[in-house]
Structure 1
Amino acid sequence: MASNPPKLKIEITSNERLKTLKEQFEARFGESPLFYACAPGRVNLIGEHIDYCGYSVLPMAIEQNILAAVSVNSLGTIQLANTNPQYQDFKVPCSEEIVIDREDPKWYYYFLCGVKGIQVRCVGGLCCGFMKQSLNILQFCILICFSILQERFGIARLAGMSCVVDGTIPPSSGLSSSSALVCCSGLLTMEANHKSLSKVALAEICAKSERYIGTEGGGMDQSISFLAEKGTAKLIEFQPLRATDVKLPEGAVFVISNCCVEMNKAASSHYNIRVVECRIATKMLAQARGLDPRGLLKLSQVQTELKASLEEMLVLVDEVLHPELYSREEICKVLDITSEQLCTELLSANTQHGG
């Protein structure tokens, strides 16, 4: 696991992006930012759609990132602006309960996922603030610094925050722009409220907090955003979360192409359908082998309980599951549950009405 590096400083005048962001912040709020926070996007090299099944993945961070300039205000509000004019400003009083509209996933709701996750679930570690001078932007993105504390805390009332967000990750392109925004928000909320968190704990919290907007992710995106290091991919393993360096070949070049067709995970059920299908399969496989399916939600848990190899799991899948579509009635009959239990225990909010 990567160590917790010291706080970093940036030379604003030598970085055009930061200089522009600082100027836009000052024009918007009439003061200079107190600190900056940043979270990179990612590309996954090996292991598509298996993190939510509990299996390991091999992503790496990319230079494209979400960057935010932040100050703490005395107005008792969270004030958000975006350098991209297509994203509207937003303001909410800190005294109000944070409400995230899953039916209308605006950009600022992803930001509020990070805020709410920190407010509700904050546990251990020191969040780093990036003050007004420092290193280059890639180091700034990746070397997020924390030191570990032991105490558990919550935030009864959030500090007022003024933020201008700038993103270079193409939206809805499969490079984790939404998760990077959640991570950046979680990071800056920690710093603004003078709280502490380790990189691992913050990754776990941000993975859970993105579910506020309805995305049933497995944690890969948030983990690599916080645990990435320059020059290496990471083998990300779960239960418990840990990351191991995977050295990239000298001279290797990775080309990422963008078809420019946007897919908003929270605005559709496509992503969550795959998640709940794997969840249902987990229950069926467990039941077929005499395991108690209660508490088992991931395929890796069944494999662990059975002490089976991957090859044996493939045989089990072929034996137990048929390739044709399952109806609700068939699922309920196989699992011996009611339709209401299927909805409340296995389906997500945006997959309730599937066939």
Structure 2
Amino acid sequence: MSDQATGAQDGFAARYGRRPDGVWSAPGRVNLIGEHTDYNHGFVLPFAIDRRTVAAVGVRDDRVVRVRSTFTEEEVSLAIDDLSPTAMEGWSAYVLGVAWALGTQGHDLSQAPGLDLLIDSRVPVGAGLSSSAAIECAVAVALNDLWELNLSPLDLARIGRIAENRAVGAPTGLLDQAASMLGREDHGVFLDCDTEQAEAVALHLREEGLEILVMDSRVEHEHATGGYRDRRESCERGAAALAVATLRELSEDDLTRASAVLDDETYRRVRHIVTENARVLETVRTLGESGPRAIGDLLNASHASMRDDFEITVPEIDLACATAVEHGAIGARMTGGGFGGSAIALVPADARAEIEAAVTSALASAGMREPQLFTVTPSEGARRDA
């Protein structure tokens, strides 16, 4: 059992006066490629990371759910029968929203016992590494066990998405929860967001002497408001104007017609989605045929598309990516929903220190805040730890 899980057990005992009945955890994620394609029913290739959120949970003898965390003294308490999106707010909505979402999907919670939960997260908040999905998925696997629901990992990922969309109010797709639930060591999760079929794709990073360097800009974002929602609505307008149900139905051959039908901004939004889907498929093919050292141009092209067509990057991210590539990274791109957060660089392990120094120096010279730089390892998905 990890130190984090042990600490959560002890923290639970200190707060609730008893030991938990179990400890469950789920990871954050990095999206290797495929940004904003998920809610357009397209393709994505994320992986789970070695930074996790832990939920220590104990069963109660009533119908009350109490939620606490290691990052605030606040306790939120709500009866199972009173769960609704309007009754939840703040960080606890990620927890209580999962319980509520289970009830909306036909699962009988009339006999479900109440619970005490303690959440401890080591997934950086606001960094674009999906700290929210890590909470949702850790809670989902815990409730699945304690309430004896017998749901599959993909079913639980869908529950997490419902919680995020309807309880939290963030219009995200399935990417984050699927990565957190389905992750495997040294593998990506290739997800078709139309069929919701997933398969593991070997990344071969360790054997190729490569690492994934996360460059957290420390520019925080919030998906429940602002640009993320605007981009989704723009994609929906583009699909409607082109008479398709979703942008997944379009190929690069359709872009000439799109340019004649759409205004410039909507066209560029559509072009990003169409070309990004193609890049995901090409990345999966290239990984299988040539390995990770051959995907650099695809990562760089993805970043350029997010910067120029989808317009979701920030100057800190653009500079970090350009600097990393200039100093030896194989490729670099923003990861996550954008408007801040993090970029990733695929780097040779023996060049990482030089690349880190160059990125830090470049941002300092530009008068930007110092980034947080760290590596992540493709890791196992949600699980029971104790």
Q: Note closer, same or farther for the CA distance 1:67–1:100 as it changes in structure 2 (3 Å cut).
A: farther
CA contact (8 A) 2:63 2:79 kept: yes
- How many residue pairs were aligned? 263
Q: Measure the CA separation in 2 of the matches of 1:20 and 1:42.
A: 22
- The answer to whether residue 112 in structure 2 is matched with residue 115 in structure 1 is no
- The answer to whether residue 143 in structure 2 is matched with residue 189 in structure 1 is yes
Q: 1:275 aligns with which of 226, 232, 245?
A: 232
Displacement after TM superposition at 1:168 (Å): 0.4
Partner of 2:153: 199
TM-score, length-scaled by structure 1: 0.70
Displacement after TM superposition at 1:100 (Å): 4.0
Instruction: Give deviations 1:69-97, integer Å, cap 9, x for gaps.
Output: 00100132101110113x62211122323
Q: How does 1:339-354 map to 2 (within 5 A)?
A: none
Partner of 2:219: 261
The gaps in structure 2 that reach 5 residues or longer are: 268-386
**Bigger RCO of structures 1 and 2 (CA < 8 A, at least 6 apart):** 2
Q: Measure the CA separation in 2 of the matches of 1:155 and 1:18.
A: 27
The structure carrying a bigger helix percent of its residues is: 2
Q: Measure the CA separation in 2 of the matches of 1:17 and 1:75.
A: 28
Instruction: Give deviations 1:314-336, integer Å, cap 9, x for gaps.
Output: 2222121121579xxxxxxxxxx
Q: Measure the CA separation in 2 of the matches of 1:324 and 1:198.
A: 40
Partner of 2:254: 313
Q: 1:92 aligns with which of 51, 56, 78?
A: 78
CA contact (8 A) 2:38 2:175 kept: yes
Q: Measure the CA separation in 1 of the matches of 2:80 and 2:114.
A: 6
| Farther-moved stretch of structure 1 (87-96 vs 157-166) | 87-96
Displacement after TM superposition at 1:174 (Å): 0.5
- Counterpart code for 2:233: V
- Counterpart code for 2:128: G
Partner of 1:227: 182
Q: Measure the CA separation in 2 of the matches of 1:100 and 1:260.
A: 31
Partner of 1:299: 247
Instruction: Give deviations 1:121-166, integer Å, cap 9, x for gaps.
Output: 15xxxxxxxxxxxxxxxxxxxxxxxxxxxxxx43235420001000
TM-score, length-scaled by structure 2: 0.64
Q: 1:210 aligns with which of 148, 164, 169?
A: 164
The gaps in structure 1 that reach 5 residues or longer are: 1-9, 123-152, 287-292, 304-309, 327-355
- The answer to whether residue 46 in structure 2 is matched with residue 59 in structure 1 is yes
Displacement after TM superposition at 1:191 (Å): 1.9
Displacement after TM superposition at 1:236 (Å): 1.0
What's the Cα RMSD here? Answer: 2.0
Q: Note closer, same or farther for the CA distance 1:158–1:313 as it changes in structure 2 (3 Å cut).
A: farther
SS in 2 for 1:265: coil
Q: Measure the CA separation in 1 of the matches of 2:111 and 2:63.
A: 9
